[in-house]
C-alpha cells in the first residue's frame, strides 16, 4: 500500500493560503492599508518591486478557486482574514463589507463541502496600528483580541476551526529583527517585543474566543522545524541551541508552559509583566505545524542572534528557494512534538515546495519535483502516524502560485499554476497527484 493510502478515513486534507498573498483588491470595499502594502510599495524591498495589489485577484475569483478545491477532493481550506479589511484603522469602526467578503468565502466553502479553517493573522497588520508602534507596543495585544472578537462575532456560527497566528516566529524575526519582511524593522529589542506581544495577543484572543463562543476548535500555527548545528564545532552547537530557542522555543514554551526557554528568558524580562505568563499559557485544541526543511545553523558572530543558516550535509537536494529537501525532518519534528506536549492534536498546516515550474506548450505543468516532494513528506507523515503521533490532517502550501513576500511572484509554491498576466489558473501534475492520493482515502 502506498504511503498516502494509509491515512485514517477522517484525516483532514486541506490547502492553505493567506490574504495578502492571493486576494489583491487592496483598495476594494473600504479596506485599509496593511504594512505589506506600504512595504511592497517601498522601492527595493520586493524583487522586481512587485506588490500584492492584484496577486491572484482571489477577492473576485474565489468561486473558481473553490471549484478547484472541490474538484481536487479537499475537505478543508485554511485562509487568513485581512485585519485591515475588517478594521481599516486597526481598531474602532468595523467595515461590514470586509466581513461580507469573508462571509462569502465561508458560505462558498461550505456549499462545496469544504470545511473553513480561519487564520486571524498572516502578517498583514493594519498600517494605522504600525504607525502607533505595531507589535512593538504592548497595547496591540488588546487590539488583536478585539479584532478576533469582531471576526468571531460574524463567523463563529459557521467557522469552527480558528487559528490565532500564522508563524509569529517568522513574522518577528523577518519583520522586526532582520528587516526582510514588513514592517522592515531591525534589531534584537524590536524582535523580542514582537515575540512577546504576539504571544500575549494570542493568549488574550484564545481567552476571548473560549469565553464568548462554544464548540470552537482553537489553535495556532507555528513554523516548527528541527535545528541541527552545521558542524561539530562548539560555537555551532551553541548557535544552533540559541536559534532553536528563538525559532521554536520562544513560541511553544509560553503557550504550553507559560515561560520562555531558560537560556533566553532573561532577554524578555524587561517586557514581561505580572500575569503575562498566565495570559500566554492557554489551552489549545490543536497545534498547526508549518514544515519545510530541517534547519542547519552555524555561528554567525555579526548576525542578530549570533546564529544563522549555515552549511548543510553533502548529498541533499534543494528547492528553488535554496531550502534542503529533508522529509525525515518532518518525522523528527512530529515525534518531538508528540513527546513534549502530551501528544496534542497536530495538523501539518503548511508543507510544500518551490520549484522553477515550466509551462509546456499545451499549457500543462509537469512539476514532478513537487510531486516527489509531496510524496516523500506524506510518507514521513504516515510514518509519524504509525509511531503514535496524534496527526489529524495535512494542508498543502499552497493552493495557488501567489505573492511569495520579498520574492514577489518569482517563486511558485502552488499546486495550481497562476499566469499573473491573465490570472488563468492551471492545475499542475501535483494537483492531480494529491487529488489521486485523497481519492484513495475514499
Ligand atoms: C510561511 C508562510 C507562507 C509562505 C510559505 C513559503 O510559512 O513563510 O506561512 O506565507 O509563503 O511558507 O515561504
- Tell me how far the alpha carbon of residue 341 is from its chain's centroid: 20
pLDDT of residue 442: 36
pLDDT of residue 2: 55
Binning pLDDT at 50, 70 and 90, where does residue 343 land?
Answer: confident
Ligand 1 pocket, residue 333 CB under 6 Å: no
Note the pLDDT tens digit of each residue in 95-128.
999 999 999 999 999 999 999 999 999 999 999 9
Ligand 1 pocket, residue 170 CB under 6 Å: yes
The residue to which cell 484564545 is assigned: 206
- Mean pLDDT value of segment 243-248: 98
CA of 312 to the centre of ligand 1 (A): 21
Which is more confident, 259 or 343?
Answer: 259
- Residue 64's domain comprises 3-441
Q: b/e map of 294-322 (b: 16 or more CB within 10 Å)? A: bbbbbbbeeebbebbbbebeeeeeebbee
Question: H/E element holding 286?
Answer: strand 286-290
Ligand 1 pocket, residue 18 CB under 6 Å: yes
Predicted model pTM = 0.97
CA of 211 to the centre of ligand 1 (A): 31
- Find the Cα–Cα–Cα–Cα dihedral 49, 52, 55, 58, rounded to 10°: 180
Ligand 1 pocket, residue 404 CB under 6 Å: yes
Does 39 score more than 60 pLDDT?
Answer: yes
CA of 409 to the centre of ligand 1 (A): 13
Name which of 71, 73, 80, 76 is nearest 14 in CA terms. 76
CA of 238 to the centre of ligand 1 (A): 27
- Mean pLDDT value of segment 406-425: 98
Bridge partners of 394, per DSSP, are 13, 348
Does 58 score more than 90 pLDDT?
Answer: yes
The residue to which cell 466553502 is assigned: 109
Which residue minimizes the CA distance to atom 13 of ligand 1? Answer: 404
What total number of domains does the chain contain?
A: 1
Omega before 183 within 30 of 0, i.e. cis: yes
Q: Active-site residue 167, yes or no?
A: yes
pLDDT of residue 441: 72
Specify whether the CB–CB gap between 139 and 193 falls below 8 A. no
What's 343's domain CATH number?
Answer: 3.20.20.80
Candidates 23, 95, 350, 404; catalytic one: 350
Mean pLDDT over all residues of the chain? 97
Percentage of the chain with pLDDT > 90? 97
Q: Active-site residue 235, yes or no?
A: no
CA of 349 to the centre of ligand 1 (A): 11
Residue to substitute in 34, 167, 293, 352 for testing ligand 1 pocket (most ligand atoms within 8 angstroms of CB): 167
Specify whether the CB–CB gap between 76 and 435 falls below 8 A. no
Terminal alpha carbon distance of the chain: 14
Note the pLDDT tens digit of each residue in 293-324.
999 999 999 999 999 999 999 999 999 999 99
Does 250 score more than 60 pLDDT?
Answer: yes
Specify whether the CB–CB gap between 57 and 423 falls below 8 A. yes
Percentage of the chain with pLDDT > 70? 99
Does 340 score more than 90 pLDDT?
Answer: no
Ligand 1 pocket, residue 290 CB under 6 Å: yes
Binning pLDDT at 50, 70 and 90, where does residue 389 land?
Answer: very high
Residue 25 DSSP SS3? coil
Q: How many helices (H) and strands (E) does the chain have?
A: 15, 13
pLDDT of residue 268: 98
Amino acid at each position: 500500500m502506498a504511503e498516502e493510502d494509509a491515512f485514517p478515513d477522517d484525516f483532514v486534507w486541506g490547502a492553505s493560503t493567506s490574504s495578502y498573498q492571493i486576494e489583491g483588491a487592496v483598495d476594494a470595499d473600504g479596506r485599509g492599508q496593511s504594512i505589506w502594502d506600504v512595504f511592497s510599495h517601498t522601492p527595493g524591498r520586493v524583487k522586481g518591486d512587485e506588490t500584492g495589489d492584484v496577486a491572484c485577484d482571489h477577492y473576485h475569483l474565489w468561486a473558481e478557486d473553490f471549484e478547484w478545491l472541490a474538484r481536487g477532493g479537499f475537505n478543508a481550506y485554511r485562509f487568513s482574514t485581512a485585519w485591515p479589511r475588517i478594521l481599516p484603522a486597526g481598531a474602532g469602526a468595523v467595515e461590514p463589507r470586509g466581513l461580507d467578503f469573508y462571509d462569502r468565502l465561508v458560505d462558498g466553502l461550505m456549499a462545496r463541502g469544504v470545511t473553513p479553517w480561519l487564520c486571524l493573522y498572516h502578517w498583514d497588520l493594519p498600517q494605522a496600528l504600525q504607525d502607533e508602534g505595531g507589535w512593538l507596543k504592548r497595547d496591540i495585544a488588546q487590539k488583536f483580541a478585539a479584532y478576533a472578537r469582531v471576526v468571531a462575532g460574524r463567523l463563529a456560527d459557521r467557522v469552527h476551526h480558528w487559528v490565532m497566528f500564522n508563524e509569529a516566529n517568522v513574522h518577528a524575526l523577518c519583520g522586526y529583527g532582520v528587516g526582510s519582511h514588513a514592517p522592515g524593522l531591525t534589531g534584537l529589542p524590536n524582535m523580542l517585543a514582537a515575540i512577546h506581544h504576539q504571544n500575549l495577543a494570542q493568549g488574550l484572543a484564545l481567552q476571548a474566543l473560549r469565553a464568548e463562543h462554544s464548540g470552537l476548535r482553537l489553535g495556532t500555527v507555528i513554523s516548527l522545524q528541527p535545528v541541527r548545528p552545521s558542524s561539530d564545532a562548539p560555537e555551532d552547537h551553541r548557535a544552533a541551541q540559541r536559534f532553536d530557542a528563538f525559532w521554536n522555543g520562544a513560541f511553544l514554551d509560553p503557550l504550553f508552559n507559560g515561560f520562555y526557554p531558560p537560556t533566553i528568558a532573561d532577554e524578555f524580562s524587561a517586557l514581561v509583566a505580572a500575569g503575562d505568563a498566565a495570559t500566554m499559557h492557554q489551552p489549545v485544541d490543536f497545534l498547526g505545524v508549518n514544515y519545510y526543511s530541517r534547519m542547519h545553523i552555524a555561528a554567525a558572530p555579526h548576525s542578530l542572534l549570533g546564529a544563522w543558516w549555515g552549511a548543510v550535509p553533502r548529498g541533499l537536494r534543494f528547492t528553488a528557494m535554496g531550502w534542503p529537501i529533508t522529509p525525515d525532518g518532518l518525522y523528527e519534528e512530529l515525534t518531538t512534538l508528540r513527546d513534549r506536549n502530551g501528544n496534542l492534536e497536530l495538523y501539518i498546516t503548511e508543507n510544500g515546495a518551490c520549484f522553477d515550474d515550466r509551462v509546456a506548450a499545451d499549457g500543462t505543468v509537469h512539476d514532478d519535483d513537487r510531486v516527489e516532494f509531496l510524496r516523500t513528506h506524506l510518507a514521513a507523515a504516515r510514518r509519524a502516524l504509525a509511531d503514535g503521533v496524534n496527526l489529524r490532517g495535512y494542508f498543502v502550501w499552497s493552493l495557488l502560485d501567489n505573492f511569495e513576500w520579498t520574492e514577489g511572484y518569482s517563486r511558485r509554491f502552488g499546486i495550481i499554476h497562476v499566469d499573473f498576466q491573465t490570472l488563468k489558473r492551471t492545475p499542475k501534475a501535483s494537483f492531480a497527484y494529491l487529488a489521486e492520493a485523497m481519492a484513495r482515502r475514499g
